[in-house]
């Protein structure tokens, strides 16, 4: 199959990226990601389900609050929206195919410019570009992991979308939401994502939090019910983030989202899409967020990136921290992997990285980082004493009175009697350094 799916080759200096192994000096080859390698009973391709994102890779051009973009994209050289959209899609599928990415993701306005269109006009634009996307998917074999609506960039959504205090604005957002769900279903998207970019508040002084949360739950129920009526059987994901652009976002972290889903009866249809950089902004580790999601049965998907440890904002860099990847993959493998989602690279090249080939290098490094983390995690789980040592810390709950306690068979009075009889309990070391050394041993 050709890796060029349009009339023009946008990345002529880069061919198809192949696996060559860790001894290869070729920067345009995978050192660790071998999609057919079996790890813990599944191939790497099955475990990781890698995805490329439309927004950072093909829409972002390196701009920041202090200056315009530095990256020049040939697909933006067309004067009209449809010309830019089709050229961008040609470039996107050339990239996905050369990178051997099985999936991609998008916001609605990533596919084609909204340009102050009415709802009907934007719907026609989406119909046009999704018709083209269907052709591209069929020609390449690349599938849609999930779609979503951008309900945070346009000034109309400055006070939120599903939580907006102004009903006409909420309704306008609902119209755009419907179009995005329709586009996702049309392209056989496997999931649908909600990121509450402005679903939160800047000041509590002018905010009725209960009203906004009740409204947001109603909004999600309506979206879910509509999609199900259209035959959509996939998962809905909520992507946690604590703040930025708002002061406080209602999907603060995975634990907050889990409580929200259970409170409003959404737990059977919604899971979480965990972003690494969002986890660290919430003062959590990536593995913490994965563990909370796994323990609550809502580990749906991953947005793979990293933050800068010296910055307190969302830098969306490509992942390269092996220790972090290994610890995350320990949770990932023990949980049995993701429920419906994949590992989507919500990451962007740096503003100073202006060559088109830099986009490939970032993805190669990120895919190798996750693949290497997966291999090492499996070796730790199967060859080391890691699991046995952790189980030993909780061994007193596996029999006798400890087991009766976990089964709810002991009253507080009985627990107090046991505690009095125990006296001063033995001091047991947590052996944290040993656990950390095991990780380093297998790296």
- pLDDT given for residue 79 in this prediction: 87
* Chain segment 337-382, per-residue pLDDT in tens: 999 999 999 999 999 999 999 999 999 999 999 999 999 999 999 9
Q: Is 56 a catalytic residue?
A: no
pLDDT above 70 coverage of the chain, percent:
99
Distance between CA atoms of 337 and 34, rounded to whole angstroms?
Answer: 18
How far is CA 302 from its chain centroid? 3
* pLDDT tens readout for residues 54-86: 999 999 999 988 999 999 999 999 989 999 999
Q: What are the φ and ψ backbone dihedral angles of 42, each rounded to 5 degrees?
A: -135, 155
Mean per-residue pLDDT, 167-186: 98
Examine the residue annotation and report whether 7 is marked as an active-site residue of this protein: no
Query: What's the whole-model pTM score?
Result: 0.96
Distance of alpha carbon 374 from alpha carbon 33, whole angstroms: 10
* Catalytic residue selected from 34, 56, 90, 107: 107
Q: Which residues pair with 302 in a beta bridge?
A: 274, 343
Distance of CA 65 to the CA centre of its chain: 24
The CA distances from residue 218 to 54, 200, 306, in Å, are 29, 16, 33
Of 34, 110, 253, 316, which is the active-site residue? Answer: 110
1: pLDDT strictly greater than 80: no
pLDDT tier at 52, thresholds 50, 70, 90: very high
95-121: average pLDDT:
97
5 confidence band (pLDDT: 50, 70, 90)? low
Distances (CA, A) of 348 to 7, 44, 81, 308, 320: 26, 23, 23, 13, 13
Judge whether 376 and 443 are in contact, CB under 8 Å. yes
Q: What is the overall mean pLDDT for the chain?
A: 96
Q: Residue range 275-283: average pLDDT?
A: 97
Rounded (10°) angle between helices 286-295 and 254-263: 20
Instruction: Calculate mean pLDDT across residues 168-188.
Output: 98
Tens of pLDDT, residues 289-322: 999 999 999 999 999 999 998 988 899 999 999 9
Please give the average per-residue pLDDT across 265-276, as a whole number. Answer: 98
pLDDT at 65: 86
d(CA 87, CA 82): 8
Cα first-last separation, the chain:
37
Work out the pLDDT band at 3, boundaries 50, 70, 90. low
Q: What is the pLDDT of residue 432?
A: 97
Per-residue model confidence as pLDDT tens digits over 36-45? 999 999 999 9
- Work out whether the CA dihedral 198, 124, 6, 80 comes out positive or negative: negative
């Amino acid at each position: 199959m050709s890796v060029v799916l349009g009339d023009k080759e946008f990345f002529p200096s880069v061919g198809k990226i192949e696996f060559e192994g860790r001894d290869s000096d070729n920067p345009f080859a995978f050192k660790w990601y071998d999609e057919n390698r079996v790890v813990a009973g599944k191939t790497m391709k099955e475990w990781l389900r890698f995805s490329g994102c439309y927004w950072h890779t093909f829409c972002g051009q390196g701009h920041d609050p202090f200056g315009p973009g530095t990256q020049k994209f040939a697909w933006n050289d067309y004067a009209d929206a449809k010309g830019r959209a089709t050229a961008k899609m040609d470039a996107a599928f050339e990239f996905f195919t050369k990178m051997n990415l099985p999936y991609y993701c998008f916001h609605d306005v990533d596919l084609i410019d909204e340009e102050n269109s009415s709802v009907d006009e934007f719907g026609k634009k989406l119909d046009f570009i999704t018709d083209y996307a269907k052709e591209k998917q069929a020609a390449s074999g690349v599938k849609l992991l999930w779609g979503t609506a951008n309900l945070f960039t346009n000034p109309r959504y400055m006070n939120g979308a599903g939580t907006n205090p102004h009903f006409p604005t909420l309704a306008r957002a609902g119209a755009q939401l419907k179009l995005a769900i329709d586009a996702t279903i049309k392209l056989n998207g496997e999931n649908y994502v909600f990121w509450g970019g402005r679903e939160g508040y800047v000041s509590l002084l002018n905010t009725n939090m209960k009203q906004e949360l009740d409204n947001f739950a109603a909004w999600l129920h309506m979206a879910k019910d509509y999609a199900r009526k259209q035959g959509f059987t996939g998962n809905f994901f909520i992507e946690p983030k604590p703040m930025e652009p708002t002061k406080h976002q209602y999907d603060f972290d995975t634990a907050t989202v889990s409580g929200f889903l259970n409170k409003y009866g959404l737990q059977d249809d919604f899971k979480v899409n965990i972003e690494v950089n969002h986890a660290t902004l919430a003062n959590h580790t990536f593995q913490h967020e994965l563990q909370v999601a796994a323990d609550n049965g809502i580990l749906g998907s991953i947005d793979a990136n990293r933050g800068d440890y010296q910055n307190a904002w969302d830098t969306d860099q490509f992942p390269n921290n092996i220790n972090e990847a290994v610890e995350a993959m320990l949770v990932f493998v023990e949980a049995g992997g993701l429920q419906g989602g994949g590992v989507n690279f919500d990451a962007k090249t740096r503003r100073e990285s202006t060559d088109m080939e830099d986009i490939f290098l970032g993805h190669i490094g990120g895919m190798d980082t996750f693949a290497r983390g997966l291999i090492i995690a499996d070796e730790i789980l199967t060859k080391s004493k890691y699991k046995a040592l952790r189980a030993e810390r909780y061994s007193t709950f596996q029999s006798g009175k400890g087991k009766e306690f976990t089964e709810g068979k002991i009253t507080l009075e009985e627990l107090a009697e046991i505690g009095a009889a125990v006296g001063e309990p033995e001091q047991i070391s947590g052996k944290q350094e040993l656990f950390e050394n095991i990780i380093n041993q297998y790296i």
